[in-house]
Chain A
Amino acid sequence: MSSDANDRTRDQRVSETYRRLATERTPPRLDRAVLRMARKEGRTPYAAARAWMRPFAWAATIALCLAIVLHLTELPPDTIRFGAPVPAEPAPAADAPRTTERAEPTAADEPAPRTELPVAAPGKRQAGDDWRAGDAPALAGKTATFSQESARADRRIAPPPETRATEPVNADREAAAAADRSRRQHALVDAAPQSAVLESRSLAAGTASGSGSLCPAEVRDSAALWHDCIESLRGSVPGDRLAQEIAEFDAAYPDFVAESRAR
């Protein structure tokens, strides 16, 4: 037998022998004394409450968490509103007149201003007097300025289309519209620098470009934007095309009044 085997065996033998030896039991009087002491110490006024304290605390915590979650999930549906689109009041107001006015081109009043500008406009435009005379603004410099002024002008748009459609066209109104138009043209002209005028005059000598709107459709829906677009095109497109664009603009927004450019 190896010493290791002997050790293991004798260890087991020692353990077995000891277990046979250790048979004593606690005396009953000792048990009674200890248990009596334990019951006496364990009985406290709040023993019953302490037994329920932990489950109650857990239940309260869970209820609180549920309440918070439910509260957060019950937010009103329209609590978050994305910025409402810019109420393009001028656009519907402008659209209506455009549609109605375009329906009324055959009226007696419409041809007058239209004939004045579209017909004469190419000539005039080519001359560059109204749009470009003297003060045609730089494309980059004045765009913002015209935008601001156009926005102000949009606020002074004529009454709603229904009113316009129902009101009888009279000469006084037409005269006022023409005056506004000329005033607007002068305002645009006043703000234009001299250099752009020379450039536009040189373009005016050129041939008119082909058909097609110079400004995109979404721009044409807004008088202010369309006006700004026209302003930005000055100096970069032939005069006759620009005049045609202006004519279309006047036809669509005859009542558009730009704020005074004279500052």
Chain B
Amino acid sequence: MADAESLVAESGLCSRSRVTYPAAMGHVPEDSALMLRYRDGDIAAFELLYSRHRDALYRYLLRLCRNRDLAEDIFQEAWGKIVKSRASYRATAKFSTFLYRVARNCFVDQLRRDRRHAHAYELDEELHADGGALPESLAERALAKQRLSRALMDLPDEQRDAFLLYEEAGLSVDQVAAVMGSKRETAKSRIRYATSKLREAIGEPGGRE
């Protein structure tokens, strides 16, 4: 666990989470190259591309929508649009930027279609199930996770969106701005405000039960 934490700490210096990428990055083709190969009929290229980004996108939509069913619908719709746009795909930007922009647009379109938000996604169920049997140290971590999850849900939509794109998708500040359609400074301030609030939520002793 210490090694994993140190590894996470080192990767955290760059503020990027690459949990979906395989460990061996020696000769892995770029996302854009895989997409172009899929455009030419290579199904295996798409399967590899999908395996790289599916979990991160799912978690992003899960916390953005705060509803599992909605997140799954948008997830499938977003990948459907990616598949249908393969013929006209041009590697003008990073594929991850393109993917999350499509997913966010699908979320915005869904919000416009259905003004009624679903109830907030409850992560506490899983945590409660694990927290009871955990040792004290792990219970503290579980509490921190719970507080973070709650604080994340309480963030304004724009700040939450910016934080998830930054942390979950691993996009840069410029890419976050491109996905959200805002200026760089705006995206940077949103990320900073979100991080500050989450830090306060984690840092409060005892948390808010």
A and B bind? yes
Q: Are B19 and A22 in contact (CB under 8 A)?
A: yes
Q: A10–B47 Cα gap in the complex (Å)? A: 37
* Among B42, B84, B123, B198, contact of A41 (Cβ-Cβ < 8 Å): B84
**Contact at A42–B83, with CB atoms within 8 Å?**
yes
**Among B9, B55, B80, B145, which residue has its beta carbon within 8 angstroms of that of A12?**
B9
> Would you call B46 an interface residue if the criterion is a C-beta within 8 Å of the partner chain's C-beta atoms?
yes
A44 to B42, CA, bound (A): 11
List chain B residues, Cβ under 8 A from A35.
Answer: 46-47, 50
Is A22 a contact of B17 with CB atoms below 8 Å?
yes
Contact with B along A96-133 (1 / 0, CB 8 A): 00000000000000000000000000000000000000
Complex: how many Å from CA A35 to CA B83? 10
- Residues on the A chain within 8 Å of B84, using CB: 41
Contact A16 B41 (CB under 8 A): no
User: What's the least CB distance linking B43 to chain A, in Å?
Assistant: 5
Chain A positions 124-172 with a Cβ under 8 Å from a chain B Cβ: none
Q: How many A-B residue pairs have CB under 8 A?
A: 119
- Could you tell me which residues of chain A, from 9 to 54, have a CB within 8 Å of some CB in chain B? 10-22, 24-27, 30-31, 33-35, 37-39, 41-44, 46-48, 50-51, 53-54
Please tell me if the beta carbons of A34 and B79 are within 8 angstroms of each other in the complex.
yes
Complex Cα distance, B41 from A54, in Å, reads 13
In the complex, are the beta carbons of A27 and B72 less than 8 A apart? yes
In chain A, positions 31-79 with a C-beta closer than 8 Å to chain B are 31, 33-35, 37-39, 41-44, 46-48, 50-51, 53-54
Hey, which chain B residues are within 8 Å of A42, CB to CB? 38, 41-43, 46, 83, 86
Given the interface contacts A27-B72, A31-B54, A35-B50, does A51 sit within 8 Å of B40 by beta carbon?
yes
Majority-rule SS of B interface residues: helix
Q: In the assembled complex, which residues on chain A have CB atoms less than 8 Å from the CB atom of B12? A: 11-12, 15-16
Is residue B203 within 8 Å, beta carbon to beta carbon, of the partner chain? yes
Is the CB–CB distance between A11 and B195 below 8 Å? Answer: yes
Name the B residues within 8 Å of A33 (CB-CB).
76
Cβ B55 vs Cβ A25 within 8 A: yes
Contact A16 B8 (CB under 8 A): yes
* Interface membership of B168, Cβ < 8 A: yes
Known A-B contacts A16-B5, A34-B76, A38-B50; the reply to A25 vs B58 at CB < 8 A is yes
The CB with the most chain B CB atoms within 10 A, among A25, A30, A33, A38, is that of A38
* B199 interface neighbour in A10, A31, A34, A51, Cβ under 8 Å: A10
Residues of chain B lying within 8 A (CB to CB) of residue A47: 40-41
Given A13-B202, A17-B148, A20-B141, 10 other A-B residues pairs in contact with their CB atoms under 8 A: A10-B199, A12-B12, A12-B13, A14-B167, A19-B19, A30-B75, A31-B54, A35-B46, A38-B43, A42-B38
